Amino acid sequence: MHVMLLSCCVLVFLLSGPCFTAPTVTPEEDEITPSPEPQVDFKLATDYLQQYYNLRKDPLVRMKRSGPSFTSKVKDMQIFFGLNATGMLDSETVEVMRSPRCGVPDVEEYNHSQGSRWNKNVITYSIGRYTRDLPRNTVDSLIESAFSIWARASSLTFVRSHTRSADIMVEFVTNAHGDLYPFDGPRGTLAHAFGPGLGVGGDTHFDDDERWTAGGAGFNLYVVAAHEFGHALGLKHSRNPESLMYPTYRSLRPANLLSREDVANINALYNPVRIHPNYVLTSGSSFNPWLSGSLFPRFMQDKCAPDLTFDAVSTVGDATFFFRERYLWIKHNEQFGIKEGPITNFMPKIETSIDAAFWIPRRSTAYLIHESMFWTVKGSIVKGKPRALSHFGFPAWVQDVDAAVHIVKTGRTLFFMHDIYWSYNENRKVMDFGYPKYISEDFPGVNTTINAAFYKEGFIYFFVGPQVYKYDYTQKHVVGVEKANSWLGC
């Protein structure tokens, strides 16, 4: 088992009022002033520096606040937090040391460099235990919005899953909660996240002893979650106070949480080499560098073309995937933005076009078909090698299908080929008796080859060239026709 290094948030809550008047401590005061407060501060600082800045522990040597090692470590801490690097325990330094924070050493974790990364661009997340402070739908919305700020600034796509096998598990917990990093009650460590990887990699925990809110009171869940998800994606803390990845909690932030540094760092992890060397990011803007330049310009310009067609359309988690040749558009069902790019950008194992696709909600699994083979996609991960289409019980002469769709109500998956179709029983894992049948007989009004099919709320949407037929599966007739490009917001 790999031991994961916790990329943990140092969400330090700084008092909004003036600093308290803890006296500046000097070596002379150690001997002249018998006041207990400097001694308390010195012990606090010693413990703090030993835990976070590798101050050497030597029980045989009496630690002195004027010692070179102690002073050097104080300076390291002051430099990191942007304080006046005097090496002395002034009031600002002691205030930060007294402030709640996590247990990961600053000298190892909190720097500008990036760490590990996910080896894919479609990342799943799931919400386990909720907080009692906010309605569940509010938590869902704030978590989705926190992921969205990273999605808008990069090529990443986040798909919500409802299983515990998601890449990033989000949970609200208290005290010891099974990961060896217990929380410490109100106003202490607010949250922590593990860096990308297997097992607990990416998992993000929020201390439910805090008061979580959607506004300025308490601790703003959106702000904290956005910071934590930066860690879950592989980013470390920044020393730049303008950065979202700066360790100090601040509820008052600009509308666009990400600084230019944050955007540059996330793209350094997930979009190497595709940024033009002279590209300048303007303040407050968000961008997707791997879509800039001449990469697939025809597809991008033709997204709203009136003759746009799709090869396959399917739900995958909380998003809809639109395939055309070796290109893919991803539309989150609750968002307006659309991600796009070569299929391999999102699923590196798939280097071909997709002819048909369907989604089975109860398994949280999608099946992507190319000619006589298909891939199984769980969450955002392509599982294993492609398998033969004959797995579904097709006769040997069937080497491809035009479209596929799963009907939740009946538990059947329908496969369309030219003018005929099959019905596959997903519960018994066999083809239904009496198939194939003619499409025109069982689907009146649909008298042509189907490019793609999609099921939603009792309707099957048949994509036929640039048009989409809305078919009432219960009443057995076409109830409307629309343009395929309208599904991409055109």
Q: Among positive and negative, which fits the CA dihedral 177, 178, 183, 189?
A: negative
332 is annotated as contributing to ligand binding: no
Count, in order, helices (H) and strands (E) of the chain. Answer: 11, 27
Phi, psi at residue 151, to the nearest 5°? -65, -40
Run of H or E including 464: strand 459-464
201 is annotated as contributing to ligand binding: yes
419 is annotated as contributing to ligand binding: no
Note whether 290 and 271 are within 8 A (CB): yes
Task: Out of 144, 228, 261, 426, pick the active-site residue.
Answer: 228
402 is annotated as contributing to ligand binding: no
112 is annotated as contributing to ligand binding: no
> Percentages helix, strand, coil for the chain, rounded to the nearest 5?
25, 25, 50
207 is annotated as contributing to ligand binding: yes
133 is annotated as contributing to ligand binding: yes
102 is annotated as contributing to ligand binding: yes
User: What's the burial of 164, exposed, middle or buried (CB within 10 Å: 0-12/13-18/19+)?
Assistant: exposed
472 is annotated as contributing to ligand binding: no
Instruction: State yes or no: is 144 an active-site residue.
Output: no
237 is annotated as contributing to ligand binding: yes
User: CB pairs under 8 A, 24+ apart, for 412-420?
Assistant: 413/358, 413/360, 414/453, 415/356, 416/356, 416/450, 416/453, 418/449, 419/449
How far apart are the C-alpha atoms of 421 and 410, rounded to whole Å?
A: 16
227 is annotated as contributing to ligand binding: yes
How far apart are the C-alpha atoms of 367 and 328, rounded to whole Å?
A: 15
Which DSSP string corresponds to 36-86?
Answer: HHHHHHHHHHHHHHHHHS-PPP-TTS---TTSHHHHHHHHHHHHHTT----
Q: Degrees (nearest 5) of the Cα angle 470, 407, 331?
A: 65
Amino acid, single-letter form, for residue 109: E
Q: Among positive and negative, which fits the CA dihedral 260, 263, 269, 270?
A: negative
The bridge status of strand 430-431 relative to strand 420-425 is antiparallel
404 is annotated as contributing to ligand binding: yes
Rg (CA), the chain: 28
Place of tokens 């078909």: 369
208 is annotated as contributing to ligand binding: yes
Annotated binding site: 102, 133, 167, 177, 179, 184-185, 192, 201, 203, 205, 207-208, 210, 227, 231, 237, 245, 311, 355, 357, 404
Annotated binding site for Ca(2+): 133, 167, 184-185, 201, 203, 207-208, 210, 311, 355, 357, 404
Catalytic residue annotation = 228
Annotated binding site for Zn(2+): 102, 177, 179, 192, 205, 227, 231, 237, 245
